[in-house]
Amino acid sequence: MKYAEVQNCIGGAFVSPNAPTLDVYDPSSGAVLSRVPLSSARDVDAAVSAAQAAFPAWSTTPIKERVQVLYRYKALLERNIDELSALVTEENGKIASEARAEVLKSAELTEFACSLPQIVTGEVLEVSRGVECRVERFPVGVVAAITPFNFPNMVPNWSIPNAIALGNCMILKPSELVPLSARRIVELLAEAGLPPGVLQVVHGGREVVEAICDDPGIAAVSFVGSTRVAQIVYRRATSNLKRCLALGGAKNHLIVMPDADREMTATNVVASMSGCAGQRCMAASVMVAVSATDHIIARMAEVASKMVPGKDVGPVISAESKARITRYIDEAVAGGATIVVDGRNAVVKGREDGYYIGPTILDHVTPDMAIAQEEVFGPVLVIVRAKNVEEAIAIENASPYGNAASVFTESGGIAKYVMEHASAGMVGVNVGVPVPREPFSFGGWNDSKFGVGDITGRGSIEFWTQAKKMTTKWNKEAGVNWMS
């Protein structure tokens, strides 16, 4: 085992819970990297107590002082980027350039949190002679973030910097598949001056998540993961009267029009479906090819078939994921889909036990096939044919998900039509991965997000704070009116 057994962090101290463990694998080789404890409700309780103890001092520290920690944290993320991205590659499998981009994105998220004092300045107005109304934002209290396997460094940083900048104390529950990056996040925040108890980490699986949803000491829960679990967490947390924002899975549709720029479209669509081995909630999953687009598909096939697993595409997260993705492809082929590029037999020399699948493109898939409807979460793109943009939009709208959608076209009118009619929270025009960058916020629609607000950017401020509305009057001489 390259790394010692993973520990929780409670009140600034790393501790080993008395708990059974799971092996943590390197997806590129199948080797065991470490072991992660499956903590219990007792460990969540201890984390909540530590966060509650830190809350009075942290929440009353002026926000301009709180974000000084985050300025230093951002610099530490940048200074340690080689080591942090290598760790992401080890535990998640993504290739070096993708892991580096992930850590840079964490720095950008932190940069936004540093700017929060300029944004959350409150409001004040004289509403009647001598009577003043003001609104100030207060932290919610002890909050929690539950994160998935696909961005071990970035997704925790979707929630941590904003939540703590706004005065909350937090409990992070990382994915048990990728628990290693969380320790470095905590260590760097401590080095940056974050007081003990402001951020705890409790490792584990379902039991920890359920305890977070149930613990009366936790006021708000952010969740990122599959739709199935997002629904469980949203229902359970809100039934316990907590606020909850739960981001779920995705099935992103890219509509390609015949007038689209061939080279840009082909390279962008392939990059979107194959980047991070297709394990991004923003990945292209269905391409709706409108009328005469064979020339673009032919170029996509050239680009995708040149990609080398192990160099240009990392492994998927687990042997189970690889088997599930392969099963989807096998079933689609058996159901009549044409295989344009086949990544099923990818082997990486010296890494024969890694969970590799090469980029795979299937054409003439029909909207009723499972592979066209369900989240595959691998480097697989299915092409569904449509006669016109209206039919393409109808196919996109029929999906229960609604994270992202894009259109590739040179026509402003068609782009506008798709922007207006796509049933998705994030829409791109000639962009394969339409992630809104700070200060714009990230969040989907429909079964891709449960709850109000977004998880990053300005949209997260409402979630991590509560507004206090204050009305004052000092002029006794004004007499009595309906506000008295």
Query: Using CB under 6 A as the criterion, which residues of the chain lie in contact with ligand NAD when the complex forms?
Result: 146-150, 155, 173, 175-176, 205-206, 209, 224-226, 229, 232, 247-250, 281, 375, 377, 403, 444, 448
* Smallest distance, ligand NAD to C-beta of residue 332, A: 19
Nearer to ligand NAD, 309 or 402 (CB): 402
Residue 469 to residue 155: CA distance in whole angstroms:
32
- Concatenating the DSSP letter of every residue in 68-92 gives HHHHHHHHHHHHTHHHHHHHHHHHH
What is each CA distance from 142 to 119, 161, 258, 274, 482, in whole angstroms?
22, 14, 52, 38, 38
* Smallest distance, ligand NAD to C-beta of residue 441, A: 11
Question: Sheet containing 142-146: which strands, arranged edge to edge?
Answer: 13-15, 8-10, 199-201, 169-173, 142-146, 220-224, 243-247, 449-450
* Smallest distance, ligand NAD to C-beta of residue 79, A: 26
Nearer to ligand NAD, 279 or 409 (CB): 279
Residue 188 to residue 156: CA distance in whole angstroms:
13
CB 359 within 8 A of CB 344: no
Residue 69 to residue 56: CA distance in whole angstroms:
17
Nearer to ligand NAD, 272 or 409 (CB): 272
Give residue number: closest CB to ligand NAD: 225
Give strand pairing partners of 220. 143, 243
* Smallest distance, ligand NAD to C-beta of residue 184, A: 18
CB 379 within 8 A of CB 343: yes
Nearer to ligand NAD, 55 or 158 (CB): 158
* Smallest distance, ligand NAD to C-beta of residue 214, A: 12
Q: Active-site residues: which are they?
A: 281
Nearer to ligand NAD, 43 or 363 (CB): 43
Residues 6 or more apart in contact with residue 193 via CB below 8 angstroms: 68, 69, 72
Residue 373: closest CA among 249, 238, 216: 249
* Smallest distance, ligand NAD to C-beta of residue 313, A: 18
Nearer to ligand NAD, 88 or 146 (CB): 146
